[in-house]
Chain A
Amino acid sequence: MSRNAGKLLLAALLLAGGAPVRAADLYIICNSQVSLDEADVRELFLGEKQFAGALKLVPVDNSAAQRLFLGRVLNMSAERYSVTWVKKSFRDGINPPGVVGSDAEALASVRRTPGACSYITTPPTTGVAVVGRL
């Protein structure tokens, strides 16, 4: 009886945990040497900010989470983002961010590259600084 009750309780907990469909969290991550605020992140990915003190910043786009990032942080469409960087590049000679294809690649890139920042949807473990969570 107690075992059945336990199973029922476990099933109820699982259902309760999964019932409301949550939008994915977005984690803005940077190399551990970097210290930025949310406004800086926006400027970084629009090409308006390239340095944090003496450290050259390296934005890295993560195509797996880009739609979420563009909507929540930059508040622009992918097309507009692309055009923004074309103009930035043409006007100021700044190349657009490099692109990786997954959270794992984004994490590896940020861990390895001084000044790098990116965004992922899986909770980061160690080795990176979480600048923001949205």
Chain B
Amino acid sequence: MRTTNYAPAMCARAWLGAVLATGLGLTPAARAAEDDKARIAELEQKLDESLKMIRELSHKVDALEAREAQRTGAAAAPAAAAAAAAVPAGAAPVTPAVATAPGSAAIAGPAAPADTAARVTQLEETVSQMAANAPQHPEDRGLAMHGFADVGAGTHNAQFPQYQGADIAELDFFLTPQLGAHTRALFELNFEVGANGDVGVDLERAQIGYQFSDALTVWLGRFHTPYGYYNTAFHHGQWIAISLRRPRFIEFEDHGGTMPAHTVGLWLTGSQRLGDQKLTYDAWIGNSQRITGGTLDMNNAGVPRGSVMFGGNVGLLMSGALDGLKVGVDAFQTRIENQDVAPPYFTQVQSYGTYAVYDTDRWEDIAELHFFRNTDLTGHTGQHDSHAGFVQLGYRAGRFTPYARYEKGSFDQSDPYFAAQTDGNSYDREALGLRFDIDLSSALKMELAQTRFTDRYVTSYGEALLQYAIRF
């Protein structure tokens, strides 16, 4: 049997391969050593980057602490400054070994992050405390006071058509001090120009209340009588309304309004969710008004003969497809004393109303209708029926809001209640207007209107009105 002797050739090849592999660094051992070196280099690079980040964070912590110490004047400031000064700039703030020998950082590393973490935690607590102190308790915020003002010009004064030209209308302040979780207060102080051109001051609203829950708030004082929608939605600051002025028959008493816009008394109000809808309700009782100087007066100091006004309002705020729509009904009864005649005249006024409002991002549409069934208690002329209403459409198109309004008051002139009032005559009015929001706090309004009086004196007049209204 013949055998082949391969050993020498194989040996040679193996040696050749080993030499080659060694030369190329590809022996298994060399390969492993190379891998380890690369890994170590990579780790060292990562450690350097981490150390650099730690140093940067540490500097930031020092700066924040110094600022905090400055702000509070704490004794920690000198200690922090001293600690910062003890750490060489550019070095990790914990151990010299880390700063001087990156290769040995694996030993000293854990100390740096722990100390920095502790300082960061302390800083977080400080920031949290600062943040927690920033929004103060409502009772500590001081008195919240805001206001409205408007001036105008036109072919007639918007409230007193016997005048023309420019006018200063009003400067209205309202204050809403926060007195606790349940106590509420609202005061509205209005400086306004009257029919004689003088500037008068009126405490238009002065109400202090207690809110038991969302379902019930009780107010005592002088408030806007909660009939209809407009009278409680819009007050004396004209900026808040789209239109330049109120419908004539629900103007404020001293501007010739024929309904009691203000009541001094007790007002209960609240709301309840009814499924997806919301029920709103109001009930009030207060001093009856009187007629003096041809206008209604709300008897701020009380009534001499104990007459009261009482009433209620129930509304339903829709949601879903009808989101923004509110409908409601209201009624009130009062006994009005006409003090412009002697002996005084008494009329029982009963009013029944209904309203609808559609208020969304685009539309603000309001409609109200009021019926009056008044009884002459003195002259024995019996009952008298009258009615008044308005429809207003407003469309928000960016900064521009065009609006249109039609209003009508049909007042029985044999009714002593309307007959006694200077502006108790029947009328109708059409108006087209445009509101331009200059910014969030100021608006220009322009209105063209045609007013017709249909009894007492039959006449009509047109108006071109301008108003500049602000809030602050």
Contacts and interface: CB of A to CB of B under 8 A. Distances in A.
Q: Verify that A and B bind, or say they do not.
A: yes
Interface of A: 48-51, 54, 56, 58, 60, 76-77, 79-80, 82-83, 86-87, 89-95, 98-100, 102, 104-105, 108-109, 111-113
B82 interface: no
B128 A108 contact: yes
B204 to A, nearest CB: 12
Contacts of B159: none
Contacts of B182: 56
B144 interface: yes
A104 B471 contact: no
B144 to A, nearest CB: 5
Contacts of B232: 91
Given A79-B440, A98-B135, A104-B128, A90 B214 contact: no
A48 B271 contact: yes
Contact of A100 (B134, B178, B235, B361): B134
Given A56-B182, A104-B127, A108-B128, A95 B135 contact: no
A86 B240 contact: yes
Given A50-B214, A56-B181, A89-B146, A108 B131 contact: yes
B355 to A, nearest CB: 15
Nearest to B437: A79
A54 B213 CA distance: 7
**Contact-residue bracket for chain B:** 35 or more
B145 to A, nearest CB: 11
B440 A60 contact: no
A4 to B, nearest CB: 12
Contacts of A112: 132
A93 B186 contact: yes
Interface in B229-259: 232-233, 235, 237, 240
A50 B212 CA distance: 10
Nearest to A77: B361
A83 B441 CA distance: 9
Interface of B is mostly: mixed
Contact of B138 (A82, A95, A102, A109): A95
B176 interface: yes
Contacts of B237: 90
B174 interface: yes
B361 A60 contact: no
Contacts of A89: 144, 146, 176
A82 B437 CA distance: 14
B184 interface: yes
A91 B271 CA distance: 15
B271 A93 contact: no
Contacts of B128: 104, 108
Contacts of B127: 104
B361 A76 contact: yes
Contacts of B178: 95
Contacts of A102: 131
Nearest to A113: B135
A123 to B, nearest CB: 17
Contacts of B214: 48-51
